Structures are given as C-alpha cells and as structure tokens.
Structure 1
Amino acid sequence: MSDATKILAPPRAATAVRRTRVRWLMLSLVFVGTVINYLDRTNMSVVAPLISKEFAVTPITMGILFSAFSWAFAIATLPGGYFLDRFGTRLTYGVCLAGWSLLTVLQAFVGGFASLFGLRLGVGAVEAPAFPANNKLATAWFPQNERGVAGSLCSMGIYMGTALLTPVLFWVASDYGWREVFLLSGSLGLVWAGVWFALYREPSESRRANPAELDYIREGGAVVGGTSDGKPFRWDLFRKLLTFRQIWGVCIGKLCANVTLYFFLTWFPTYLVNERGMSMLKAGGASVGPYVAAAAGVMFGGWIGDVMIRRGISVNVARKTPMVLGLLFTGAIVLANFTSSNTLVIFILSFAFFAQGMSSTNWVVISEIAPRQLVGMTGSVISLVGNLAGIITPITIGVIVQSTGSFAWALGFCGIVSLIGVFAYTVVLGKIERLVVE
C-alpha cells in the first residue's frame, strides 16, 4: 500500500469509538480571529475618503498610507514565523491578536497623518504571524482529506467577515465619524484575545479531544504532536527550504492573487465613491456583494479540491485546479471598465472576486508542502512574498489614479497580474508534496 493510500485510508479508531469534533472548535477560534484581522486591515479603506479630506491627502500619499501596514508586515513576517515555531500557536497568536487590536484602538486618537502612519506600521508588524498561525493550526488539527475545507474556512473569514461588517463600519463612519470605526474594530479584537487564551490548545494538550479524534487526525497526516519543540532555529534548514521550486511557485502565485485582493481591501470603497459616484452608505451596501461572492469562492475552491482527493484524484491536480481556474477568471475584473451601469459593475467585480477567493486555497497547499519542522517559517516566507502585494498594489493604483484621473488602468493592472499567477501555478510550482529538509 502506498504512503498516499495510507494517509487517505479511513482511520480504524474512528469505527470503534465516536470521536469528538474539537478540531472544528479550534478552527472557529481562528475563523473569528481572521474576521477581526481583516476588519482591522480594511477599516482604513472605509474611512479613507474622510481622512483624505481632513488631512488633505493626495491619492499617492493615501496609497503610501494604505501600504504602511504591508511594509511592516513584510519586515516582521520571518521573525513572526520564528516565534511561531519556537513558542507555538497559542502564545504567539494570542499575544499578536491583543497587540494589533490595542494599536487599532489607538488610531482613534491620532492628531495627524504621521501618527496614523506609525500606528499602521505597528498593526502590520504585529499581525505578521496570523496567517502562518492559521496554517500551523490546520496542519496540527486536520487530516489531509479535511484540510481543504479547513483552510477555506480560515480564508473565508477574510471575505465573509468583511462582507458582513464593512457596511457596519460605513454606517459608523457616516453617522459618528472615522475615529469611532477604529474604536469599534479594535475593541472586538481585545475581547477575542481573551477567548483565544481561554479555549485554544494544541491536540496533544487538549482535554476536550478524545483518543478517537486524535487517532483520526494523526492517521490522516496531521502533525498532532506539534512542531514547536523549543530547539534552536537552524539556518541551514531554512536555506534549503528556499531552494525548492514549490516554495517559489506558491510565493509568486499568492503575490499575483493578492494584487486583486488588496485592490478590494484598500481602494475599492474609494473607487465606488469617486469613480462610480456612490454615497458612503450606498458604497457600504454595494460592497457586500463582492465580499460574499469571494467567501463563496473560497469555500467552493476548498470543497472541490477535497472532493477530488476523496475520488482518487491526485493531491497535485486537486489543489492546483481551483487555484489556476480562479486566477484565470480573476482577469474578468477588467470588464468593469466597459460599462456605465453600477449594477453590472458590481456583478463583474463580484464574479472576479469569487474567482480570486477560489484561488486562495493556496494556503491549503502550504500545509501540504511545508517540512514538518518548518511549518511556521514556510507559511511566513510565502506570507511575506504574497503580502508584498499590499505594498505594490495601493501605491501603484494611487500613482495610476493621480496620473490618469481614472481607475481604468488600475483594474487592467489587476487583470494582467492575475494571468502571471496562472503561469506560476502551472509552470513554476511543480508537484505538490511534503518537502523534506534534513
């Protein structure tokens, strides 16, 4: 029997004793954490039109402010991965969640552009370990044949939370002011940090998970014993990690997918207000459709990959299919340039964002390829490169808008880059399999 067959075979323990489902409780903790994470990223895009007026900010300067988060995020990502592998998911994620939430609250009290820029840098730095931690949790708590849905649920928090809560932020900004937006979103995170510390445990430390569940996830390929053994970090293993084509294939593909994501996370509300002439409240309502579509795309991409694996299709084909097709159809975003109907524009953008969400199952691939002793660092490397889009996209779009007076070429930029991502996943990535570093 092959190793792949052993991984996917129904665990024997599952037939003897009814197993608990604690893994889904643990996943729900990071799902809500991800909602809060992206709420604290996107709140700036909601209040951007108001801040631009109050602080007399140009489009290019606003693009720099949007990118502040990602500059610090990029610098802190590798150290974040180190702390994650050294100190574990519970401590690292919990401290970071509390830290970025406090910095978000402080943004409500800034007196000018410089202090706001500095606090956005701080939020970016402290959020850096968040998604590598999500990946580490999925690797520890979920068997291979459930990892697609688990990873998709984590990613869905980006889109569904933004879809449901962004209109609330628009309402708060419109009726109360932009400072109250930061107070609300930051306070939610401080509360959830307490919930995280109270409930999260690694599989080997959990008193809620019974042996049947632990056997089930272990036999399915989960790293139940954890990967944080407190041993000194080995740079030779890290250097070897960077020699694998799989790492760079996912890095480039994720970077390209994130260009469209960061358009929606930063400039999308301004596009609706300035380019399409919507009011703040109307823009808040219109923004729901694309984010709901993206959440559906994430779930569809993860679900179809898991279904393909259960039907005997290779992990390589099953994981690549939604990523490649998703990025291919993301290019449809450029079609919004060819209609004057706001209704049709929202439909086109919703379709493109659905496709982008479908491609975001790349986080599942990270859990499939990461060396067992470098799960955190693997996620951090890919997160670092992928989130360079958070620097490139807002500044590039700011330059385009200020130079041309329109978002037309900005949408074209997103469409072209998504096709480069198709090349990365089909040519550069190679075979999806667990990498080994010794």
Structure 2
Amino acid sequence: MGWLDKIISRKKVTQLVTAAEVFRSWNVWGLAVTYFFIGFVTYGFMTWIPLYLVSAKGFSLVKMGWIASAPWIGAAAGNFLGGVIADKLLDKRRKPLMMFGPISLVVMLTALIHVPNDTTLLFIVLFLTGFFINLAWPCYFAYPMGFTTGATYPTAIAIVTSIGNLSGFFSPMIGGYLLDVYKSFDVVFIFLGACGLLSLLMSLTIKEPLQE
C-alpha cells in the first residue's frame, strides 16, 4: 500500500511517554480538531433531522421517528465495520477512513438535499449517511494508540474528546441561527458538508503512525 501510505503520510512518529509530550503533540491536537469538525455533523443530525422531517417533509411524528432512526442504525453498522476494515483490511491504518468519511458525507448530504419526498428513499439516504460517517468513528479513538503508551493514552484521548465534544455545544446553535436567517434546511446541510470538508483538511495535517 505504498501509494496509500504516501497519501496518509505514514511514517514513524515519536512515542509520547509523558503528559507534557502529549500536550505538545500536533498529532493529538490535529486529531482533536478533526474530531471537532466531524462532531458538528453528528450533533447537527441529532438536533435538526427530526424537525427537518416534520416541518420540511411533512411527515407525521410516528413516521418521523422511524426515519430519524436511520442514521443511528447506519452508525451502529458503520462503527462495527469501520473497526474491522481499519484493523484487518488496512493493517491498522486509521487515517484512510478519517478521510473517506467526510468525502462520503458531502456526497450523501447532496443526495439528502435532492432526495424526493419518499419514505423509503429518505430512510436509505439517512442510513447510508450515518453508516459512512461512522466508518471512521473507531479510528478517532484508536489513532492515538499508535504513538502513546498505556500511561499517556488517557491524556491524549481526553484532549481529543474534550475538544471534539465542544461541537455538541456549537452545532445546534449555529444550525438554529442559519435556519432563522435563511429559512432553509439546505443551508444547514451545506454548513454540515463544509464542516466535513474541514475535518478532511485537518486530518491531512496529522501523520499516520507506522506500527511495526
């Protein structure tokens, strides 16, 4: 996979053995920001998809509940399969799925904007959106294991999740502001797609640790 290793910048990285080294590592902070931007999408879906299905698509609450579950059914499948792919098919490479997830997100959000008002099609599109995003989810947590120790991994993952979960604070507010101003869910989906692209760009700044 030489061509892939060039794309993901796979090389030996310094093992982080102290908390101070963890706090100085761009690989840790870069991952945290990568996770932060993809978190905008997750929390945005959690907040706005139910309202979108009721107010924009005109579904009943019962039908909305069924369709709104689709991203999370897809997420469960994506989490499991993503871990298998990263460990077995990609030989513990984590960045490929971190890069693939945001790219597929843009495609699926484009499909979501243009999908007809059909229950089955909406369920499929939302299922696939949740599935593709969450292929990368195990990788965000496994990535620091490649260059930390048992003593420093907790510090590294604490930084990643603390920064990443801030998106749960900002995403609903920004989404609500965009809806108030533009009166269109398409603008919200475009915003979430832009967050996905920012996550992709940030993932390009970190190295894929070479695990021997």
TM over 0.5: yes
- 1:338 maps to 114
Is 1:411 equivalent to 2:189 in the alignment? yes
Matches of 1:308 and 1:243, distance apart in 2? 32
| Cα displacement string for residues 346-394 of structure 1 (whole angstroms, at most 9, x for unaligned residues) | 3222222111111212112133333432232211110011111111210
**CA distance in 2 between partners of 1:416 and 1:356 (Å):** 14
2:138 pairs with 1:357: no
Query: Are the aligned partners of 2:94 and 2:208 in contact in 1 as well (CA < 8 Å)?
Result: no
The one of 267, 272, 291 equivalent to 2:72 is: 291
Deviation at 1:239, TM superposition (A): 3.8
Deviations 1:307-356 (A, max 9, x none): 136xxx4x3xx222222112210112133112332333332222221111
Checking the alignment, whether the CA contact within 8 Å between 1:246 and 1:429 is kept in structure 2 is yes
Given residue 369 of structure 1, which amino acid in structure 2 is its aligned partner? F
Equivalent residue for 1:401, pick from 164, 172, 179: 179
Give the corresponding residue for 2:5: none
What pairs with 1:260-339 in structure 2 (closer than 5 Å)? 260-308=41-89, 313=91, 315=92, 318-332=93-107, 333-339=109-115
**For residues 173-322 of structure 1, what are the structure 2 equivalents within 5 Å?**
237-308=18-89, 313=91, 315=92, 318-322=93-97
Structure number, greater radius of gyration: 1
Counterparts of 2:21 and 2:144, CA distance in 1: 16
Deviation, structure 1 residue 305: 1.1
* Deviation for aligned residue 1:418: 0.7
Distance 1:275 1:371 in 2: 49
Stretches of structure 2 lacking an aligned partner (at least 5 in a row): 1-17
Shift of 1:419: 1.3
Report the AA paired with residue 337 of structure 1. Answer: I
Deviations 1:266-287 (A, max 9, x none): 2221221122111211111112
Equivalent-residue separation in structure 1 for 2:82 and 2:36 (angstroms):
18
The residue identity in structure 2 corresponding to 1:339 is V
Distance 1:396 1:327 in 2: 19
Q: After superposition, what is the alpha-carbon deviation per residue over 1:98-118, rounded to whole angstroms, capped at 9, x for unaligned?
A: xxxxxxxxxxxxxxxxxxxxx
TM-score of the superposition, structure 2-length normalised? 0.82
Whole-angstrom distance in 2 between the partners of 1:325 and 1:336: 18
Higher helix share: 1
1:391-434 deviations in whole A, cap 9, x for unaligned?
12100100011112221110011111111211222x21113268
Whether the 8 Å CA contact 1:276–1:342 is kept in 2: the answer is: no
Q: Say if 1:263 and 1:393, in contact at 8 Å, map to a contact too.
A: yes
**RMSD, aligned CA:** 1.9
Percent identical across equivalent pairs?
22
CA distance in 2, matches of 1:257, 1:369: 22
AA at the equivalent of 1:281: V
Q: Flag the structure with more relative contact order, 1 or 2, with Cα contacts below 8 A and sequence separation at least 6.
A: 2
> In structure 1, how many angstroms separate the alpha carbons of the residues matched to 2:179 and 2:147?
39
SS in 2 for 1:373: coil
SS at 1:428 equivalent: coil
Q: Using the alignment, how far apart are the partners of 2:30 and 2:210 within structure 1?
A: 13
Question: In structure 1, the residue corresponding to 2:208 is in which secondary structure?
Answer: coil
